Amino acid sequence: MTPQRVTLITLGVRDLARARAFYESLGWRDTRPQEGIVFYQLNGLALGLFPLADLAKDQTRNMSDLGTGAMTLAINYGSESEVDTAYAAAIRAGAAGLKRPEKVFWGGYSGYYADPDGHVWEVAHNPFWPLSEDGSLTLPTDEN
Amino acid sequence: MTPQRVTLITLGVRDLARARAFYESLGWRDTRPQEGIVFYQLNGLALGLFPLADLAKDQTRNMSDLGTGAMTLAINYGSESEVDTAYAAAIRAGAAGLKRPEKVFWGGYSGYYADPDGHVWEVAHNPFWPLSEDGSLTLPTDEN
């Protein structure tokens, strides 16, 4: 079964530096500098800023299809097989498959489906992001 | 400062019963029956299903402006004055004000702004939803 969990919220952004500056103005501090993506540690989950073009590509959709408010809700799992199981369950439940789970360039395993209203969910296994017992995600930092 | 926190993810849906059935198919169970909205307890945050028309109205926007993927990220605060402070900080940081915080029909206090990419954030105080020390939200149930 799909756990009642959201571990990463991704915001597609037109200008990464501008978006980061906005959240920095709100007092948010990202975990560590990375090329092309910005991550924030939230309360047991993370939020990422990701260029809209990259997000569209990642979802194998046209950028124009994402529209204002483009957003992905991610559920991370402990293994690739759990991702496959979750993806299959979503399709059985009526989700529209956008990308069957596959190994991805950042070293993980990820797929995308859309719920009946077009909300895009990512199911993923990230070997560099261990999950806590309670399903929450604590981003790695330089200290750990 | 705005805490690095998301306490509620709201999905605007065209058909509440259909959306609830979808998540139920995934194994999700809502906290308790309520008219016109469905809530799920997640890992230290909640996810709500809310009719798209109601969400648009709540944001004082046209339904057609929300588009596919319409979604609100909420940050809950401990008091109305904290909501006002957060809203003002967002506007200063360049957010587009959608609805200045005001008392709302469900007994709380809420405002909306859009980040530079049109992602819609709600800043809210809900006296019926106390926050944990760590900023996480545990939805009230019939047992507590």
pLDDT exceeding 90 applies to what percent of chain B? 13
| Domains, chain A, ordered by start | 8-125 (3.10.180.10)
What's residue B69's pLDDT? Answer: 46
What's residue A1's pLDDT? Answer: 57
Shortest CB distance from A71 goes to which of B22, B27, B69?
B69
Partners of A47 on chain B (C-beta within 8 Å) are 4, 6
Distance CA B30, CA B38 (A): 6
Contact B47 A135 (CB under 8 A): no
Shortest CB distance from A119 goes to which of B2, B11, B118?
B11
Shortest CB distance from B119 goes to which of A44, A71, A134?
A71
Partners of A93 on chain B (C-beta within 8 Å) are 22, 25-26
Q: Looking at residue B24, what DSSP letter applies? A: H
A92-127, pLDDT tens digit by residue? 888 888 889 999 888 999 998 888 777 778 888 989
pTM greater than 0.90: no
B85-130, pLDDT tens digit by residue? 989 988 988 888 888 999 988 899 999 888 877 777 888 898 988 8
CB atoms within 10 A of CB A142: 6
User: Beta strand pairing status for A96-103 and A46-51?
Assistant: unpaired
What is the ipTM, given to two decimal places? 0.73
A44-81, pLDDT tens digit by residue? 888 888 888 888 787 777 877 666 545 778 888 889 99
Q: Which residue is closest to A7 within chain B, CA to CA?
A: B43
| Residue of higher predicted confidence among A65 and B30 | B30
- Residues A3 and A75 sit within 8 Å (Cβ to Cβ): yes
Partners of A82 on chain B (C-beta within 8 Å) are none
Contact B117 A43 (CB under 8 A): no
In the block, tokens 């690095």 appear at: B4
- Between chain A and chain B, the number of residue pairs with CB atoms below 8 A apart is 146
Suggest the residue from A4, A14, A22 to mutate for an interface test with chain B (most B CBs closer than 10 A). Answer: A4
Beta-carbon contacts of B130 under 8 Å, excluding residues fewer than 6 positions away, are none
Read out DSSP for A58-85?
HTTS-HHHH-TT-EEEEEEESSHHHHHH
Q: Which residue is closest to A52 within chain B, CA to CA?
A: B117
